[in-house]
Homo-oligomer: A and B are copies of this chain.
Amino acid sequence: MPQQPARFGEITGIRPGHEFRNRLELWSAGVHRQTQAGISARQGQGAESIVVSGGYEDDLDQGTWLLYTGKGGRSAETGKQVADQTLTGSNLELARNQVLGLPIRVTRKVTENGLTFYRYGGLYRVSSYWQEQGRSGYKIWRFRLEMLPDELFSEAEVAVTATPDLFQAEEPVAAYNPAPRRLITTLRIVRDTAVSRQVKQLYSYQCQVCATRLNSAAGPYAEAAHVQPLGAPHHGPDVLSNVLCLCPNHHILFDLGSFAVRNDFSLLGLDGRLTLHRQHRLEPLFLKYHREHYFRATEATSAAE
């Protein structure tokens, strides 16, 4: 991968719906800086753009959100998956977009009236990623991309449009600083359901992993993680047996697959076990789903001694 700095955000003058005749035009406009590959990324910096062309049998495009399959393991001749994909290269860069909260430009290859062209779709965020067995039987990496909500809070500092000229920040910057100063990105959205609120009450807002409770003048704060996530394509249910009450730190670690829970409720990737309330029955099938799709052995937390 070339090592020029990655460019995130919208390209000036190119709004969702803008059409390009071919990949070369898309490349010249700066929207997608690869002429063949579906992902344009810079090593260690994240993925700046993708082209969705239905090239993978496992893709799913719902407009405001889509499932994108990673690269690798595909036969050039048949277009089918013939080997496992790994979380390396462009796939790893796409995953970085989630932890770094970076937007990704999405362009779609479109065929209408016998004509094939490319339509820019706008900015999306990578909300989650996981591995699963594709229809071919081989492991694939899947990324869920969601359209960035319209920036309703229309003040100067939330301008999402970025011009390439602004990419040099004026103050001394660390080596990695791809975004212009006016680009505010959504790093993380935490949602709650009625069942989330139930489980937090049950544990008095204490984390089932570390027993921490965050207190504030307006009451305690905790987050609930759905073990098998809600929504397509996971369709985990919103029930008590599918949620954990966690502090924000452990919620993120759980979502990112840095730790998981065994069927006997001991922890994978961390020492110890979950604290379980006698009224809280966790369903092992959901725990297994999370282990298989999310857990990546890694050193979950580190701290200076």
Contacts from A to B (Cβ < 8 Å): 64-65, 87, 92, 95-96, 98-101, 129, 146-147, 149-150, 152-155, 157-158, 169, 171, 173-177, 179-181, 183-198, 201-202, 206, 210-221, 223, 230-232, 238-240, 247-249, 251-253, 256-258, 296, 298-304
Contact = CB atoms under 8 A, between A and B. Distances in A.
Given A149-B150, A171-B240, A177-B198, A99 B302 contact: no
B193 A173 contact: no
A187 B231 CA distance: 17
Given A176-B201, A304-B211, A257 B157 contact: no
Given A171-B239, A181-B194, A87 B211 contact: no
Given A186-B191, A211-B303, 18 more contacts: A64-B153, A92-B218, A96-B219, A99-B220, A100-B219, A101-B190, A101-B191, A149-B150, A171-B239, A171-B240, A187-B196, A190-B190, A212-B302, A213-B302, A217-B296, A221-B256, A247-B249, A248-B248
Nearest to A44: B219
A64 B154 contact: yes
Contacts of A158: 231
Contacts of A301: 212-215
A174 B219 CA distance: 17
Contacts of A192: 100-101, 184-187
A264 to B, nearest CB: 22
Contacts of A249: 212, 214, 247-249
